[in-house]
Structure 1
Amino acid sequence: MNGQLLVKVGMADLNIAADGAVLKTTGLGSCVGLTLFDPICKVAGMAHVMLPSSSIARESQMNIAKYADTAIPELLERMKAAGARVERMEAKMAGGAQMFALGGSDTLRIGPRNVESCTEMLNQFGIPIKAQDTGGNYGRTIEFDSEKGILVIRSVQYGVKEI
């Protein structure tokens, strides 16, 4: 992604981009990198979702970008403010890995639960998931091009792929 403006999205963070800028987040293990894109006005958004539900929030000042159920509505609001329309949006996501071999405890299935929670939220807003690279047991870094709507996924084990 040569010479394009790079907009970094940290852990438990979200941001939007337009005019060909590229959104990037690193360190996706059990976290989900969720991207939204309006292909007509070329506005993109990315959230680095750490946990499935804000109902488990314990911090005094809640970070809405940290949870799937609060990050996605906030991302939609920011994108709408930039001219995007929900009915034109499409989603792509990566991450949601099961990073450690665990027993059957559901509370420790953070990666799969993050994917499920993001999918449920997108369904509530009627946003189709165009592509995803989720699961497995490895980390990912992603970049999303706000001009082309292409999600580039990098991992040590599997190299680079585009969806």
Structure 2
Amino acid sequence: MEIIKIGMADLGVAKSPDRLRTTGLGSCVGVVLYDSVHKVAGMAHVMLPESSLGKGGEIAIGKYADTAIPRLIQDMKLAGASTTNMVAKLAGGAQMFAFLGKSDSMRIGPRNVEACKMALQQAKIKVVAEDTGGNCGRTIEFDAATGLLQIRTVNQGVKEV
């Protein structure tokens, strides 16, 4: 069993018995896709909602919800997964800082969650579990053998969904 580490703005795929892990989810969203029939899992560490927010040049596919999720689906299919079997689990999207104004541009966490859900809806993938929002960071680990997502939250311990 290998633990595949997914960095910020990165994505990756694992097959049973391997696991996927990412740390440092504050306003970022950890998107996990899973095909329980073929035991293929994918994880993306999404930092921003839309690739249009990029500053020209080449974009990092895993950084944005609108590019990371379609690529993750594609990579999982190459590993033997079927989109008809895929379900999603989400974690992160916290509002890490309190702002006096209600500026939409400062709601990065909630906007990331909304963008991930929109991309999943477009791909017709159902979100079966989520642990999003709040104001604390998370580390997640997904087991491709069991389909369990372990979420470690600062000051709140560990839970599995």
TM-score by length of 2: 0.98
- Name the SS of the counterpart of 1:44 in structure 2: strand
Mapping of 1:1-163 within 5 angstroms?
Answer: 4-102=1-99, 103-163=101-161
Q: Structure 1 residues 136-145 or 53-62, which shifts more?
A: 53-62
The whole-number CA distance in structure 1 between the counterparts of 2:17 and 2:134 is 30
Deviation at 1:20, TM superposition (A): 1.2
Residues 59/24 of structure 1: CA separation in 2 closer, same or farther (3 Å cut):
farther
Q: Deviations over 1:117-160 (max 9, x none)?
A: 00001001110001000000000000000011100000121100
Unaligned runs of 5+ in 2: none
The whole-number CA distance in structure 2 between the counterparts of 1:64 and 1:58 is 13
Deviation at 1:56, TM superposition (A): 1.0
- Name the SS of the counterpart of 2:128 in structure 1: strand
Q: What's the C-alpha RMSD, in Å, of the aligned pairs?
A: 0.7
Deviation at 1:61, TM superposition (A): 2.1
- Name the SS of the counterpart of 1:76 in structure 2: helix
Aligned residue-pair number: 160
The whole-number CA distance in structure 1 between the counterparts of 2:60 and 2:127 is 25
Q: Percent identity?
A: 59
Moved over 4 A (4+): none
The whole-number CA distance in structure 2 between the counterparts of 1:109 and 1:39 is 33
The whole-number CA distance in structure 2 between the counterparts of 1:76 and 1:91 is 11
The whole-number CA distance in structure 2 between the counterparts of 1:99 and 1:40 is 37
Which residue type is aligned with residue 162 of structure 1? E
The whole-number CA distance in structure 1 between the counterparts of 2:56 and 2:8 is 16
